[in-house]
Chain A
Amino acid sequence: MLQRGRLSFEEIRKRANAHWEALEKGVHVFVGTATCGRAAGALDVIDAFKNELARQGVDLPILQVGCIGLCYAEPLVIISKPELRIAYHNISPDLVPRLVEGYLLGDDPCLELALGTFEVDQKGTPSIPELSRFEHERRLILRHCGYVDPENIDDYIANGGYTAIEKALRMEPEEIIEEVKKSALRGRGGAGFYTGLKWDSCHKTTDKTKYVVCNADEGDPGAFMDRVILESDPQQMIEGMIIAGYAVGAQQGFIYVRAEYPLAIERVRKALEQAEEIGVLGENILGSGFSFQIKIAEGAGAFVSGEATALVAAMEGRRSEPRVRPPRLAESGLWGCPTLLNNVKTFSFVPLIVAHGAEEFASIGTEKNTGTAVFTLAGKIRYPGLTEVPMGTTLRTMVYDIAGGMSNERRLKAVQIGGPSGGCIPESLIDLPVDFDSLYETGSMMGSGGMIFMDEDDCAVDTARFFLDFTTKESCGKCTMCRMGTVQLLSILEEICAGRAREKDLQLLKELAEDVKMGSLCGLGRSAPNPVLTTLRYFGDEYKAHILEKRCPALVCKDLIAYYILPDKCDRACEHCVLVCPTEAIKGGKGEVKYIDQEKCSKCGTCLEVCPHEYNAVAKISPVSKLPKVPMAGKTQPKEGPKQ
């Protein structure tokens, strides 16, 4: 049984294990080359390693892995020796010779460059115990990310991959669905619908042709976990899709992935080829008689395509407009056939649930929110990156234990969760356990799981305006309330940011936001007002300051601030600001105190950026009416007065 080609799956596993053992026993270099690592210069680091090794006349493997989730540490290099694996952070090409001579070929562990050393726990999950954040994390679907070569299926198999499919093929489809139901897994795409129920209704349809679609159209600005999974461990998601196909009775799967993620597409394509090659995908999988194909469908970039029915429209080659449900996709989806649509993370959980049982999964997290949640952490924190924590972990843990607290000693003001569909949660709710239901109560939602931490320098009104600007552009235009309502909401917010709004506009804003929520067909329109409603609810004072005092407390809204050079702090001899000002708005000759001609100032902030820290002479002032008069007396006075 389980025979295909020349190698049985048992033999393939043996081969994979041997490959992995050799890897663990040998000396080699891992470099994280997901998009984030590449952006930080990982490919240059690889070249530097190759050059240095060639110079030394040594041939050692340099392997490209995905992202470990510590974005702030990129480019991240792991030097693995049988006795000790050490991770090095922020490695630039000029540090490479030091690492090669130091640890790779020598005995000096180069601790000054190290992030930490690895330990492997009983479950085989590697961690860096020096980093306290790992104590709070629970890595299930991210456990391989950054440790296995995403372009080599053997790495996945040697780490327990494709055991779930073997087990699943020996089970009845109903048994698998029962297991998924018992796990209480909820869809990680944002809305949190129970996955088992979705599978069940798709399974119960009697149509011959059914489809399984993976939603990898991650469109939320500020969330990138799906990209990381696709680039770091695509096989796990593929295995989940195959199991889903078997359970619901589908023969064809599609991965709908954004064209904006070229590296993810490339790695998924390779992963699919390799899975077919060894016979876990394609005709007669592992001799079971079950056949399943997976194709990639490239998305052309539209936020609304993340909505299930809109995604199907895009896959059919139409404008990506959502339609009324019912019928649900599980009954009538792609080309009218029953279609099971889940998110990348949802599918990635499936092999774990099947292999280890529903109980183990359900024991993690809270009662109604089982398992783990993956979040991207960004904004004003010390350690931005990717994290996977049990459902119900508090925001406090997220900020202070995992993200290392706020950067620049600033105070946390709010956490924005879920992007344009989510909302701003104020610092006062920091002990909130984060899961689908608790977020919903705050007026926010899990959405994609993007978390942006804001400090006192971030304006709540401007943030709401930013998200509305986004949804206005991304509204597909089908429903009036979404198409016109978001534009009106945006224009009110713009008036507030510009200091032109009246107090009664706040009431209008709130009513209109509620109406857009009620009157829209799909999730995009129904959740688009969330950023407005949550900021109104928790940061009402800030709205009032904008309207009544024409003041932006965070000093962000351009029309309400002015740049000002503090006369007693200005060095006089220094001309940094004068030289860089793009509009020549800074006046004052050599040796004189500089001042800004407000008529000419475009408020680009370059003067503030270049003013040397020892002077710190440029300040932002709001409201503009508080701007002090330009100093005109004393010997520091400019020879010519300000010209109009």
Chain B
Amino acid sequence: MNEKEEQLSHILEKHRGERNGLIPILLEVQKEFGYLPKEAMLTVAGFLGMKPTDVWGVATFFNQFRLTPLGKNHVKVCMGTACHLAGGRLVLEALERELKIKVGETSGDGHFSLERVACIGCCMLAPVTVIKDKIHPKMSPFKVEESLIPYRREEQEEQTPTE
């Protein structure tokens, strides 16, 4: 925990005296921790002399901010117009079925989380999913299972030696 506090104060120091600090700080905190922990938000509020409710208000307003940790393999499904017309919803439903989680959730073992995003700007490759920052173009419900195989294998390999 101490290490985390240190990381946080390091981030805050970088932004000391900045006038538009809140959103950049929250973005950096999230980059560091993967989400916005409650304690971190309280510290940020204290540092900026803001009410915690105002920090909370901003954290819950913007799509980028998350209040719970993501899975190790974060799956984003593009729901832009082109992806929607090309059947993005069917892909999202197939992912929900395959990962056994609903959109916005993280699986119980923390391996996968599923999110819908507005548009990642790759409309010519629609429908698109992004798994752990790798773009999977021209998806279909049928291709979903196959696209997850490498990430599932990775998880299994990591687990085997410890077992």
Contacts and interface: CB of A to CB of B under 8 A. Distances in A.
Given A301-B64, A605-B87, A580 B81 contact: no
22 contacts: A39-B122, A219-B118, A221-B119, A222-B80, A222-B81, A222-B82, A297-B23, A298-B24, A299-B23, A300-B26, A302-B63, A317-B23, A320-B62, A384-B123, A452-B123, A580-B142, A582-B97, A582-B141, A602-B97, A605-B87, A609-B142, A610-B142
B125 A40 contact: yes
B23 A314 contact: yes
Contacts of B27: 259, 298, 300
B94 A604 contact: yes
Interface string B21-60: 1111011000000000000000000001000001001100
B58 A318 contact: yes
Given A416-B81, A463-B85, A582-B97, A303 B140 contact: no
A466 B58 CA distance: 26
Contact of A605 (B23, B58, B63, B141): B141
A232 interface: no
Given A317-B22, A452-B85, 10 more contacts: A39-B128, A221-B80, A221-B84, A299-B23, A302-B61, A380-B85, A450-B81, A463-B81, A466-B81, A605-B87
Given A221-B80, A221-B81, A300 B65 contact: yes
A193 interface: no
B94 A582 contact: yes
A376 interface: yes
Nearest to B128: A39
Interface residues of B, number: 44
A39 B142 contact: no
Contact of B123 (A38, A71, A335, A602): A71
A300 B141 CA distance: 30
A627 B141 CA distance: 24
B121 A297 contact: no
Interface residues of A, number: 59
Contacts of B70: none
B114 interface: no
Residue among A71, A259, A297 with the most chain B CB within 10 A? A259
B10 interface: no
B140 to A, nearest CB: 5
Nearest to A318: B58
B63 A300 contact: yes
Interface string B117-133: 11111111110100000
Contacts of A450: 81
B93 interface: yes
B77 interface: no
A495 interface: no
A372 B10 CA distance: 47
A595 to B, nearest CB: 20
